[in-house]
Amino acid sequence: MYILEQNVNYVISIYLVVMNLVGFTVMGIDKRRAITKKWRISENTLIIIAFIGGGIGAWFGMYVYRHKTKHVKFVIILPLTVIIYLALLLKIFCFI
């Protein structure tokens, strides 16, 4: 049973790392497209990526790329996703 728990924790960790890299990258791509006036990634897509595990990366990307920092929706929702995922991680890995 312990090995199964380790594998599940490993898979969850890898998933969250990948999703946060996706969130960070997508913010950069959308910023570049905004500058060059090309087709954009929808705000709903950015928020969905944050909610399915990429919140920390998207939030970090928002400030690194200075993208969506004046949109109240993003200023509230992205930190909220970070809080939710940190709480879930504590629950999963620390068995709180």
Report the domain count for the chain. Answer: 1
Please give the Cα distance from 75 to 58 (Å, whole number): 11
Nearest to 67 by CA among 96, 32, 95: 32
Please give the Cα distance from 10 to 27 (Å, whole number): 26
Provide the residue-wise pLDDT of the chain in tens; the chain has 96 residues.
667 767 887 888 899 999 999 999 999 999 999 999 999 999 999 999 999 999 999 999 999 999 999 999 999 999 999 998 888 888 877 865
> Domain range for residue 18?
2-94
Could you tell me the pTM of the whole model?
Answer: 0.86
pLDDT at 67: 94
Burial degree of 11 (CB within 10 A; 0-12, 13-18, 19+): exposed
Containing 44, the helix (H) or strand (E) segment is helix 43-49
